[in-house]
Amino acid sequence: MAAVTSIMRAQQIVMSRLNELLEPLELTFPRYEALMLLFYSRAGQLPLGKISDRLQVHRASVTNVVDKLVGSGYVERVRDGRDRRAVLALITAEGRLVARRASELLNGADFGMAPLDAAACENLYASLTPLRAGAGDYELADAPAAGDGQQRVSSRGVAR
């Protein structure tokens, strides 16, 4: 129970810090995550369902996040040329600028992890790796080494 409570409280603390950093850019961390998926996608666009799958959140949550990004001018909704039923989120030029600025802010603040240093973050990551692998985020053989700075996508499309 102590470990679970600590993880949950740490998540609240870090999320609060990240949201505070991002607030001047009209972003929250969930909006930043969605924006970065679009930023790094090949065409700068993804179906809302794919965003939902990659972020491992309910589709209704993605709809809300995309609505807010559209309202800020960072994303546009467009129809998929191949499937008129599908709606795509498309990052705008302003969205690309904000994504870069937000990344600079978050990196400059070590993603809210103070007072943990790089070694402590690597140890924390290594401690949580088996838990995430057990949930299917990735297989342990495919897990990135602590500190390699690489974000990979599992066979389920889950970013890690």
Domains, the chain, with CATH or none: 16-111 (1.10.10.10), 115-160 (no CATH)
Residues 102-121 pLDDT 10s: 999 999 999 999 999 999 99
Residues 41-66 pLDDT 10s: 999 999 999 999 999 899 999 999 99
Q: Kindly report the pTM of this predicted structure.
A: 0.82
- Percent of the chain exceeding pLDDT 70 equals 87
> How far apart (Å, rounded) are the C-alpha atoms in residues 150 and 128?
16
Of the pLDDT bands very low, low, confident and very high (cuts 50, 70, 90), residue 160 is very low
List of long-range contacts for 132-141, beta carbons under 8 Å, 24+ apart: 132/160
- What is the mean pLDDT of the segment spanning 130-158? 63
Task: Name the β-bridge partners of 88.
Answer: 47, 78
Residues 66-94 pLDDT 10s: 999 999 999 999 988 787 778 899 999 99
Is 150's pLDDT higher than 60?
Answer: no
- What is the mean pLDDT of the segment spanning 5-32? 97
Peptide bond into 115 cis (omega under 30): yes
Classify residue 114 by its DSSP letter. Answer: T
